Amino acid sequence: MPPTSTDAPPSEFAPGVACLGSRPLRRGRAGIPAVACLAAVLLGGACGGDDPADVPEDDPCTAAQVSYPTIGSQDGTRYVRDPEAVREGGSYYVFSTNDGIPIRRSSDLIHWTTLGRVFPNQLPSWAAGTIPGVQAPWAPAVAWFNGRYHLYYSLSTFGSPRSAIGLSTSPTLNPDSPDYAWTDRGKVLESFANSNYNAIDPAVIEDAEGGLWLAWGSWWDGIKMRALDRQTGLLSTANSQLYSLARRPVEQAIEGAYLIRRGQFYYLFASFDLCCQGVQSTYNVRVGRSTSVTGPYLDRDGVSLLSGGGTMVLAGYGRVRGPGHGSVLALGNEYLLVHHYYDNLDQGNAHLQVRPLVWDDAGWPVAGEPYDGTPPGPPPPGASLTGRWGYWAADEYPRAVELQAGGAARACDRTGIWSYVSPTLTIEWPAAAGTGARTDRSTLSASAGWLAGRTSDGRIIRGYRLP
Give catalytic residue positions.
82, 255
- Asked if 235 and 251 count as a contact pair (C-beta separation under 8 A), the reply is no
Q: How far, in Å, CA of 266 to CA of 70, rounded?
A: 33
What are the Cα distances from residue 211, in Å, to 53, 142, 203?
Answer: 54, 16, 14
What phi and psi, each to the nearest 5 degrees, are found at residue 38?
Answer: -60, -40
Bond into 3 cis (ω within 30): no
What phi and psi, each to the nearest 5 degrees, are found at residue 39?
Answer: -65, -40
H-helix or E-strand spanning residue 448: none
Q: How far, in Å, CA of 331 to CA of 339, rounded?
A: 16
Three-class SS state of 187: strand
CA 187 distance to own-chain centroid: 27
Of 213, 89, 98, residue with least CA distance to 150: 213
Q: How many helices (H) and strands (E) does the chain have?
A: 2, 28
Which strands sit side by side in the sheet containing 334-343, from one edge to the other? 320-331, 334-343, 350-359, 365-367
The amino acid present at 387, given as its one-letter code, is: G
Q: How far, in Å, CA of 101 to CA of 11, rounded?
A: 30
* Residues sharing a CB contact under 8 Å with residue 236, sequence separation 6 or more, in sequence order: 226, 227, 228, 229
Three-class SS state of 307: helix
Q: How far, in Å, CA of 107 to CA of 259, rounded?
A: 24
- Per the DSSP assignment, residues forming a β-bridge with 141 are 152
Three-class SS state of 35: helix
The amino acid present at 144, given as its one-letter code, is: W
Q: How far, in Å, CA of 302 to CA of 294, rounded?
A: 17
- Cα four-point dihedral sign 85, 323, 424, 110: positive
- Asked if 300 and 310 count as a contact pair (C-beta separation under 8 A), the reply is no
Of 326, 337, 441, 360, residue with least CA distance to 393: 441
